[in-house]
Amino acid sequence: MHQDVSATAATPGQAGAALEPVDAGERIAALDIIRGFALIGIFLMNIEWFTRPISELGRGIDPSLHGIDYAVSWLVYVFVQGKFWTLFSLLFGIGFAVMLGRAETRGRPFLAPYLRRILGLLLFGSAHFVLIWTGDILHNYAITALALLLVVTRNWKLWLGLLVSFAVMAVVLKSDAVVGALILLVLVGVMMFFLHRGSVARYWKWGVTLYSLMFVLGLIGAGVTAVYPQIRSPETAEQAAKRQERLAERAKERVEEIRIDSRGSYAEAVRYRADKFAEDMPQAAGLSFMALPMFMIGFWFVRSGVVARLREHAALFRRLAAWTLPIGMAITLLSVWLVPSFPGDGLGGRDPARMAAMSLFQLGALLLCLGYFSGMVLLLGTRTARWLAPLGFAGRMALTNYIGASVISTLFFFGYGLGYWGQLSRPGQMAFVAVVFALQVAFSWLWLRHFRYGPLEWAWRALTYWHLPPMRRRPDVAAATEGTVHPA
């Protein structure tokens, strides 16, 4: 999953100057390269779900696979799944803080442009979900971005208006799904109150704590259930019947999803995705409970001055990498050893091993995400940086490339395209990602030789700043930035 993030250095400008889209000369190339690296991870994660029912997402490694297919799935599950959407969340928080810093430096309003930015993200995500692929995460990011905006700006009027609106919706629609949004807003209100009572380091501390809290509680629950199995009340006949009914309904939905993806027309697929989007939107706030803490950690990286002086903070990233990579990998491997697959309804239920495995996996994802970010920053301070530089071209056009990968994949796999759904092995899927991403890097390089932004990035900026930014690249900027890498 991905969004474009204008992760740039905040530069001084005249007070009162208009808040404008970021120029190529202002960008921090290291963050573009990390974003390009994250794009690879997102694509490696997503490719499986262009040729497998996405309703099975979250069920671990496909137990029907064997040999090299299982080995590849195991590697993706351990090293990729859950680690890169969190990395993009962190980058989004960085982009938010940079945009806020530029608005403060130039003495310009921030709220209206950023609300338009969130709206643009929601529109892109909604179109991506309905018209292209149900695996979109952009609309979830838009909701999380609104939550972060409230936390940072402490706009109590906007917060209260949203709280009342969702409360009315919950009562009128009698929808349990809206309750998740209400809980998120209450959490946001708590953070709005407390996060301004101390240093900016609280964003880091709260981010790590909030992300970890639900999974630590899950581990505690798993431990208590394992030690005292008698506290688990036996499943009643009514509960068993409802569970079987739910499993049967999900099996039916799975069959329909396979039919639509493998043999359905484009019109059928759009109708199917539109229905799914209507079901998903009321629950979209659920992902924010994990995404918002990552946004906050990214926000801290900028406001603490770390991003502006990456090289000077190499010791910080060395410590992070030294702790997060081995511990995160150990926790992840323990999770996979406990329960590699979650058959049935895909939920942990009351089985302590499953509860522990899922909680450990998500905790490992946080640590490995921070480890990957730190490792990339350290690599970009070495001679390896020149070999990683091409990733920066893809990273500067991340929104275009993220959605473009979905377009290419659906046209290759789905029934209304070439129809290779379910026919490509897991190694073949990895090769597909390598070829498509290489083409995207080449396309991005060619495009950025002539234009300042990717096509979707340009449209997003036009909506954010409410005017059409110049698209053609200035020759002086092109000559100054061509092929350069700024690790710090």
Q: In this structure, how many other beta carbons lie within 10 angstroms of the beta carbon of residue 6?
A: 22
Confidence of residue 178 (pLDDT cuts 50, 70, 90): confident
- What pLDDT score was predicted for residue 14? 34
Query: In this model, does residue 294 exceed pLDDT 80?
Result: yes
Query: In this model, does residue 5 exceed pLDDT 50?
Result: no
Confidence of residue 103 (pLDDT cuts 50, 70, 90): confident
Share of the chain above pLDDT 90, in %: 59
DSSP output for 126-194: HHIIIII-TT--HHHHHHHHHHHHHHHH--HHHHHHHHHHHHHHHHHHT-THHHHHHHHHHHHHHHHHH
Q: What is the C-alpha to C-alpha distance for residues 189 and 398, in angstroms, rounded to an integer?
A: 32
Q: pLDDT tens digit string along 389-419? A: 999 999 999 999 999 999 999 999 999 999 9
Q: pLDDT tens digit string along 184-208? A: 899 999 999 988 777 888 999 999 9
Structure tokens of 201? 């380091």
Query: In this model, does residue 49 exceed pLDDT 80?
Result: yes
In angstroms, how far is CA 43 from the centroid of its own chain? Answer: 12
Of 308 and 334, more confident: 334
* Range ranked top by mean pLDDT from 18-32, 235-249, 296-310, 403-417: 403-417
Confidence of residue 349 (pLDDT cuts 50, 70, 90): low
Q: What is the C-alpha to C-alpha distance for residues 36 and 405, in angstroms, rounded to an integer?
A: 13
Query: In this model, does residue 4 exceed pLDDT 60?
Result: no
- What pLDDT score was predicted for residue 174? 67
Of 99 and 243, more confident: 99
Q: Phi and psi at residue 467, in whole multiples of 5°?
A: -160, 165
Confidence of residue 347 (pLDDT cuts 50, 70, 90): very low
Q: What is the C-alpha to C-alpha distance for residues 213 and 286, in angstroms, rounded to an integer?
A: 15
Based on DSSP, count helices (H) and strands (E) in the chain, helices before strands: 19, 0
Structure tokens of 12? 């001084």
* Contact by Cβ (8 Å): 398, 5: yes
Q: What is the C-alpha to C-alpha distance for residues 120 and 123, in angstroms, rounded to an integer?
A: 5
Residue corresponding to tokens 């091993």: 353
Query: In this model, does residue 13 exceed pLDDT 50?
Result: no
Contacts of the segment 472-477: beta carbons below 8 A, 24+ positions apart:
473/24, 473/448, 473/449, 477/23, 477/24, 477/25, 477/452
Query: In this model, does residue 351 exceed pLDDT 60?
Result: yes
Q: What is the C-alpha to C-alpha distance for residues 453 and 400, in angstroms, rounded to an integer?
A: 10
Q: What is the C-alpha to C-alpha distance for residues 180 and 261, in angstroms, rounded to an integer?
A: 30
- What pLDDT score was predicted for residue 200? 86
Q: What is the C-alpha to C-alpha distance for residues 7 and 96, in angstroms, rounded to an integer?
A: 8
Look over the chain and give the mean of its residue pLDDT values, rounded to a whole number: 86
Kindly tell me the burial class for residue 205, based on how many C-beta atoms sit within 10 Å of its own C-beta (0-12, 13-18, 19 or more). middle
Q: pLDDT tens digit string along 433-478? A: 999 999 999 999 999 999 999 999 999 999 998 989 888 876 655 4
- What pLDDT score was predicted for residue 230? 64
- What pLDDT score was predicted for residue 177? 65
* Contact by Cβ (8 Å): 345, 247: yes
